[in-house]
Amino acid sequence: MRRPLDRRAWAVALVLALTHLGLLAATLDVGFSRDESFYFNAAEQYSRWFDVLQETPGKAFSKETVDRVFAYNGEHPALPKILFGASWRLFGSPRDPSAEPWARSWYHENTPPKPILGWFRESTAMRLPALLLAAVLVGAIYLFGAEFLGHRAALAAALLWMFQPHAFWHSHFACFDVPVTAWWFLSAWTLWKSLPSQDGRRRPSPGWAIAAAVALALALDTKHNAFFFPPLVLIWWIWTRRRAFRLVSTSWGPRIAFPPIPWAFLGYLTITPLLYWALWPRLWHDPIGHLKWYFSFHARHDYYWAYFFGTLYTKPPFPWSFPFVMSAMTIPGPTVVLFLLGLVRIAREGLVRGLARVAPVVRRVRDSLPDREPGLLSFLFLNFLIPFAIIAHPKVPIFGGTKHWLHGVPFLCLIAGLGMDAVLRGLEGPSAGTDAPPGLAGSRRWRRVAWTALAWVLLVVPAAWDTLTHTADGSSYYNAFVGGRAVMGQEGMQREFWGNSAHDALGYLNESLPPKTRVDFHDTTWDAVRMYWRDGLLRRDIVPVWDFRNADVFLFHWHKEFTDLEGDVRREFGASGPSFVWAPGGVPLLDVWRRPTGQEHP
Amino acid sequence: MNRPFVGSLAVLIVAAGYFVLARVQEARVPDAEEWSRAAQEVRSRWEADDWVLFSPAWAHAGAPWLAGLPMDIAEKTDWYEASKHPRVFVVASAPERSPTPPEGWRVLETIPLDRVTVHLWAPPEGETLAWDGRRHLEAARVSRGLGPQQVPCDTFRNGRWHCGAPHPWQNVGLIDRDIDGRVREVIWAHARDQGEPLEIAWQDLPEARRLTVHWGLTQRAVEQDTGSPVVAEVLLGDRVVARQTLDIHESGWFRHDIPLTGHEGRSFRIRITARRNQDRQFCFTADLWR
């Protein structure tokens, strides 16, 4: 049954969101991955548009300005990078070139902007919009759940999403994966709110329909995987309204009768494309040309490597099981168990409701089921399944660990929330009853409270522990059921997510390298290195090179596809072994190689 | 107790078990102090030509404490290569802290520490490495073609033999490449095109009882759909004593043991042929055992 959101629900959502933001803010020491570093660069370049807008507003919208300012990284929509750049300009504390002239080269066109508020270090300011969206998402998961699945399921879903090492780690980045997850979820929520319920208890809402159209535009303006949302909605809508499609005879002859078209669909056809266009400057002057290039870029995306059970996948066919198995391995164990329980509950409810239509004997069982809006569970299930199913297609690239189906995971958590609800209901069983004497009833109540508290602790604390002890290496997390991090070595699984592990060697580099040492940062990009400088995390005299033959130190990021390179470096340097190994959980993620000086022994 | 209660209780027990399991897994990981103690144990027993490897092979987080000692940090252990050393230290941590020695290997000492165990093992007795082709590459004669068309590849530059002007990959030289699941030190002998044989020959070798050749295609090669199968042969004189066709996606580090009698093995040749050579990154090692 739908429970309208009251003040308590909003308060809980706010507390959850602020807690999540607080946890993210307290764990910002996460290395810059390759893609984030590119978006740092893009954000910096795009932020110049605000200067043009301020100085010569008439030119800001010209093709020349757009082509110049937004030229870089056109393969992704501009909105997130515009937000990262705006946040950086407003809150970031760029270096002062008069005090540190050498810092000029760390900025686009050698010109660091003047700080405005200067509250945060630069990478944090860039990350702020994504951090806020991640926090909003937690609140939104709770609110959606509280309204349509019940408070307990909602709270469980929000907490289980918060405490996922991979998702939590991705939530730190000035990237698109968690923002698009948030917008996808908000698209689903607002759409659901805009629809009339099939049992007639909720009327269509044009206001929520407008919100749904806006949310979808923002999702599309964040990342291309949002393009799969409208087909998903259409499939679900046709399926759940299939009985309303019928042939009727009129005086004009037979025609097909349709169910009422949702307001949101009209919004998708009008507001969404307009807003999508308006928020992506590259579309202003050449929408067709740029979109053609954009779609062809993603349709022919390079296949990067993925290491999965000892096989280095480089080209199709990729294993269809990849997203499912990876999720089962990289989501905390109790959450996986609750999800499976929730899935069984969904299947049972669907089966019982279906059978009850044809078998009256089942109706009594149906009447004992929770009162839910028709179509809700299938809506949740499809929103979970479709993002996974897309990556499961053998021709879709599977690089990037688990981030490419992250937008399905909040729905997985809502289903896990149903599992949690089932567990709590089960524990209530023996202590329920109204005919007990007052003393006994009180004791039963306390017993129930104790069981409930124990359930929350046992089902949420392990996930929280796993998450908060894997903040720096969240993408290398594997749950204890599969052996923990050791499974990466034992079974041959992907260990690291492109270039971020250098962050955990910076302390070693800063402390142990002689002045002006030449360091080959391997998979860490120039854009990441200059942000490390700008944030004061890397000694400025260290000379980055991307040529180990010309370097004295090499940072080997452990990827299966790079192991030849480690062999080449070892031979070139004549070193017996790495001088520093970053190995959380005992599994090497980064080996630092140095040309031997005779003083290697730590 | 009703059924839903028992079901819920089971879920809680599983969750509690999970939490304990995760903590146990974390607690088994050695810290800096443990690695340091293990390294001290190794260094205090070190003798010339010893070798260090890790168990499990990928768990080389302790490598920095063993700096300066020859060690293997590849993803999986190559016991054949290990057997070339008189003694091997196996620095073992969870989840393979008590590895079983390969057949014929002898346990010399076991030093248990808190979270690391240092094992000292020796390879089977009775065989000694007489010659390793990788250490005698400069003495090899490399050629392309056969019979009257045979052309010597006699440009030796930076440890590599080239047929004429130095070429970035069409050469024969020492390299480390990922083959069959681990990086190996091998002799790179990229196949030539259009069926032209590439030969690497050695002469005046020490007497031995067995010639052992390993060969295979690199990981990069087996990933590609390009080129054609590679035919590899070992010749004693004009007699082919080992021959294998490696399909383009065939992953493996294939061992061929060739027993030698009398003066056999004092010279031998490795011949590599491919109809189309794109990405046919063939590599091998050759050892004489007495």
Residue B205: strand, helix, or coil: coil
Considering only CB atoms, A567 lies closest to which of B65, B181, B183, namely B183
CB contact under 8 A, B12 and A462: no
| Residue type (1 letter), A46 | Y
Question: Is the separation of the CB atoms in A120 and A139 below 8 Å?
Answer: no
Residue A2 above 90 pLDDT? no
A61-95 pLDDT per residue, tens: 999 999 999 999 999 999 999 999 999 999 999 99
DSSP 3-state of A162: helix
CA distance A56 to chain B (A): 53
In whole angstroms, what is the distance from residue A579 CA to residue A591 CA?
7
**Amino acid sitting at position A574:** G
Q: Which CATH number fits domain B129-289: 2.60.40, 1.10.3470, 1.20.1250, 2.60.120?
A: 2.60.120
Cis status, amide bond into A334, omega within 30 of 0: no
Cis peptide before A115 (omega within 30 of 0): no
Given an 8 Å threshold on Cβ–Cβ distance, is B67 in contact with A600? yes
**Dihedral of alpha carbons A260, A266, A269, A273, sign:** negative
At residue B51, the pLDDT reads 98
Closest chain B residue to A574, measured at CA: B68
Counting every residue written for chain B, the total comes to: 290
> What pLDDT was estimated at residue A253?
85
Q: Which residues 132-191 of B are in CB contact (within 8 Å) with A? A: 174-178, 181, 183, 185
> Exposed/middle/buried for B149, CB within 10 Å: 0-12, 13-18, 19+?
exposed
Best B2, B11, B137, B226 member to test A by mutation, with max A CBs in 10 Å, is: B11
Q: Which of residues 196-225 of A touch B (CB under 8 A)?
A: none
pLDDT tens digits, residue range B237-253? 899 999 999 999 999 99
Q: Compute chain B's Rg from CA coordinates.
A: 24
Residue range A504-553, pLDDT digits in tens: 999 999 999 999 999 999 999 999 999 999 999 999 999 999 999 999 99
For A173-189, what is the mean pLDDT?
Answer: 98
Dist CA B263 CA A203 (whole Å): 96
The 8-class DSSP code of residue B214 comes to E
User: What phi and psi, each to the nearest 5 degrees, are found at residue B212?
Assistant: -115, 120
**Interatomic CA distance for residues B35 and B161, integer angstroms:** 42
| B55 in reach of chain A (CB within 8 A) | no
Q: What are the boundaries of each domain within chain B?
A: 32-122, 129-289
Identity of the residue in B2, B60, B174 whose CB atom sits nearest the CB atom of A581: B60
Tokens coding A397:
């690239």
Chain B nearest C-alpha distance from A124 (Å): 30
CB-based contacts of A592, cutoff 8 Å, min separation 6: A505, A508, A509, A553, A554, A555, A556, A578, A579, A580, A581, A582
Return the pLDDT at A602: 43
> Are A132 and A179 spatial neighbours (Cβ–Cβ below 8 Å)?
no
A460 touches chain B (CB under 8 A): no
Distances (CA, A) of A300 to A38, A284, A293, A296, B140: 20, 24, 11, 6, 46
Give me the residue from B18, B56, B70 closest to A576, CB to CB.
B70
- End-to-end CA gap in chain A: 64
Q: In whole angstroms, what is the distance from residue A418 CA to residue A420 CA?
A: 5
Q: How far is B210 from chain A (nearest CA, A)?
A: 29
Alpha-carbon distance of A295 to B193, in angstroms, equals 39
Q: What is the predicted pLDDT for the residue at B264?
A: 79
d(CA A190, CA A406): 19
Say whether A577 and B19 touch across the interface (CB within 8 A).
no
Which chain A positions have a beta carbon within 8 Å of B114's beta carbon? none
Q: What is the pLDDT of residue B174?
A: 97
* pLDDT value for A432: 52
Residue A430 has pLDDT above 50, yes or no: yes
Interface of B with A in 29-48 (CB under 8 A): 29-30, 36
pLDDT for A254: 86
Residues B20 and B79: their CA atoms lie apart, in Å, by: 35
A576, B68 in Cβ contact below 8 A? Answer: yes
User: CA A176, CA A403: separation in Å to the nearest integer?
Assistant: 10
Query: Residue range A428-432: average pLDDT?
Result: 64
**Can you list the residues of chain B whose pLDDT is less than 70?**
1
Q: Tell me what the mean pLDDT of segment A333-356 comes to.
A: 95
**pLDDT score recorded for residue A303:** 85
List Cα–Cα distances, A23 to A158, A171, A416, A478, B203, in angstroms.
Answer: 14, 11, 22, 21, 69
Burial state string for A337-363 with b = 16 or more CB within 10 A and e = fewer than 16: bbbebbbebbeebeebbeebeeeeebe
Q: Look at residue A268 and tell me whether its pLDDT is greater than 80.
A: yes
pLDDT at B1: 67
Chain B positions in Cβ-Cβ contact with residue A341 (cut-off 8 Å): 11
Nearest C-alpha neighbor of A493 from the set B235, B75, B233: B75
Q: Is A576 on the interface with B (CB under 8 A)?
A: yes
Task: Give me the total of CB pairs closer than 8 Å, taking one residue from chain A and one from chain B.
Answer: 175
Contacts of B180 (CB under 8 A, 6+ apart): B216, B251, B252, B253
How far, in Å, CA of A562 to CA of A550, rounded? 18
Confidence of residue A1 (pLDDT cuts 50, 70, 90): low
A199-223: per-residue pLDDT in tens?
778 888 999 999 999 999 999 999 9
Q: Is A217:A191 a contact under the CB 8 Å cutoff?
A: no
**Interface predicted TM-score (ipTM):** 0.94
Q: Where are the alpha helices (DSSP H) in chain B?
A: 3-27, 32-45, 79-82, 219-223
Q: Which of A341, A567, A587 sits opposite B11 (nearest CB)?
A: A341
Tell me the average pLDDT across A484-499.
93
Q: In terms of Cα–Cα distance, which of A336, A343, A335 is closest to A464? A: A335
CB contact under 8 A, B58 and A489: yes
From B68, B174, B176, residue closest to A576, measured CB to CB: B68
Q: Tell me, yes or no, if A571 comes closer than 8 A to chain B by beta carbon.
A: yes
The predicted structure's pLDDT at residue A601: 47
Bridge-based pairing of strands A518-520 and A543-545 is parallel
pLDDT at A438: 66
> What SS3 string covers A125-158?
HHHHHHHHHHHHHHHHHHHHHHHHCCHHHHHHHH
B12 interfacial to chain A (CB closer than 8 Å): yes
**Does B4 contact A at CB distance below 8 Å?**
yes
Task: Check whether the bond before A317 is cis (ω within 30° of 0).
Answer: yes
Whether B67 and A486 lie within 8 Å, measured CB to CB = no
Distance from CA of residue A540 to its chain's centroid?
Answer: 33
pLDDT of A573 above 90: yes
Q: Provide the token pair at B148.
A: 């009257």
**How many angstroms separate the CA atoms of B130 and A558, rounded?**
35
**What is the overall mean pLDDT for chain A?**
94
Compare CB distances from A484 to B8, B22, B30 and report the shortest one's residue: B22
> At A431, is the pLDDT very low, low, confident or very high (cuts 50, 70, 90)?
low
- Cβ contacts of A568 on chain B, cutoff 8 Å: 175-176
User: Which of A343, A427, A504, A560 has the most B C-beta neighbours within 10 Å, making it the best mutation to test the interface with B?
Assistant: A427
Give pLDDT, residue A436. Answer: 61
